[in-house]
Amino acid sequence: MNSPEEYKNNLLKIDLQSFLKEYYGYNAIKLNKNFPGTYKLLAAQLALYDKAKKKLPLMASAFCYFTSKSLEQASSEALANYKASLVQGDLLIDLTGGLGSDEIAFSGRFKNIISVDKDSELNLLAEVNFIKLGINNIKRISSDAEGFITGDLKADLVYIDADRKPGSSGKKSVTLHDSSPNVLKIINRLFDISPEIMMKLSPMADISYLIKNLPCLAEIQVISHKNEVKELLVILKRGYSKNPLISAIELSSTGNEKLNQFSEPSQKINESGFAESGLYFLEAANALIKSGLVNNYAYQNGLKLVSSSSVFMITDKPIQNPFGRYFKLVNSFSFSKSAFKNYLSENNIKSANITCRSFPAKPDEILKNFGLKDGSNDYFFFTAGENKKKLVFHCQKLQ
């Protein structure tokens, strides 16, 4: 059996760029003859590179190695770049190394990085990838997080992207109690090591649960890209005792720019009032919805909500840099089958985009029932007002 250094050297000798072209479409069985020691890994590259190019373009352009699980769990390059932009220092300890996409981004912001992962083979792949990328300030250690932190350690930042254990249903848990490592059990020790802890969490994690269970919680950021919430970023600071700052953030494609951000130290404030008509209509972005800050956003921007639990907002004034889908409000009326059918006929509308929230029918049902095709510049939003009255909003997109 090859030593770890021999294994790494063999992988570095492979011209992965030429391999991907020459053996495109091959499976592991066909590769076994020419690559007996690495055929499974190489077969994985053939299967994964199209996805890797989109998610981790820097690593793909350097022809790094990937595994299916590590690529799936890795932060995208855009999100990794964003997280790295928030911090800097002498030493970062990453307790959940994985593929290493986060620490690759962090390597430009810290003098040294210690990265821990239980998977010794994945650690070797990460070391090969660091060499390919010309990164020499990351040290990989094969250990579990709980064992590693018993040593004499001091760092400027501890970073954790905990593995979510599947429950009895087969679905991965979104609580900290069932994560690996179990952050709640080791958090006091982590604060002995570092004054600050940064955690990447599932976009499904519950914010109220985090506020209740995490000590010294300074900030929760809901990170979105192309209006899809990608992750929750949690920042803990030793001794912090104020209400956490909650932020909804929409990132650019590279992660180097915030396209939109809204932050508040609380999720609840007085209602901004309600409206069923106006000149402009805004559907809150998913980051804003997930953060629980829709009401705050409406209040701060002088917008009226359709109802107290709605994500739809209305105003008579143009919205500067709207955080969500922004429309000209053409008309609004109470929904009934006959009223909507007549409205479509009177306005010669035969295709439309349908959105339903707090409404008994689904978009495909409405399209089918009213003989509409999906698409066009006409948008219909079906929802319930503050008095539970069924409402329809006819809009046309502004941006």
**Angstrom distances, CA of residue 190 to CA of 141, 154, 336, 340, 372:** 17, 9, 58, 59, 57
* 83, 198 contact by CB (below 8 A): yes
Question: 3-state SS string over 203-225?
Answer: CCCCHHHHHHHCCCEEEEEEEEE
pLDDT by 10s per residue, the chain, length 399: 478 888 899 899 999 999 999 988 888 788 888 888 888 999 999 999 999 999 999 999 999 999 999 999 999 999 999 999 999 999 999 999 999 999 999 999 999 999 999 999 999 999 999 999 999 999 999 999 999 999 899 999 999 998 875 444 455 556 787 788 899 999 999 999 999 999 999 999 999 999 999 999 999 999 999 999 999 999 999 999 999 999 999 998 888 889 999 999 876 676 678 889 999 999 999 999 999 999 999 999 999 999 988 999 999 999 999 999 999 999 999 999 999 999 999 999 999 999 999 999 999 999 999 999 999 999 999 999 988 899 999 999 886
Q: What is the pLDDT of residue 166?
A: 47
Nearest to 174 by CA among 164, 163, 182, 162: 164
The dihedral through the CA atoms of 240, 248, 189, 195 has a sign that is negative
Is pTM beyond 0.85? Reply is: yes
* Alpha carbons 131 and 247: distance in angstroms, whole number: 36
* 104, 113 contact by CB (below 8 A): no
CATH of the structural domain 72-264, one choice from 3.40.50.150, 2.40.50.140, 3.30.70.2190, 3.40.50.300: 3.40.50.150
Q: What is the pLDDT of residue 168?
A: 45
Token look-up 């539970």 returns 388
Q: What is the pLDDT of residue 173?
A: 58
Phi/psi of residue 127, nearest 5 degrees: -65, -40
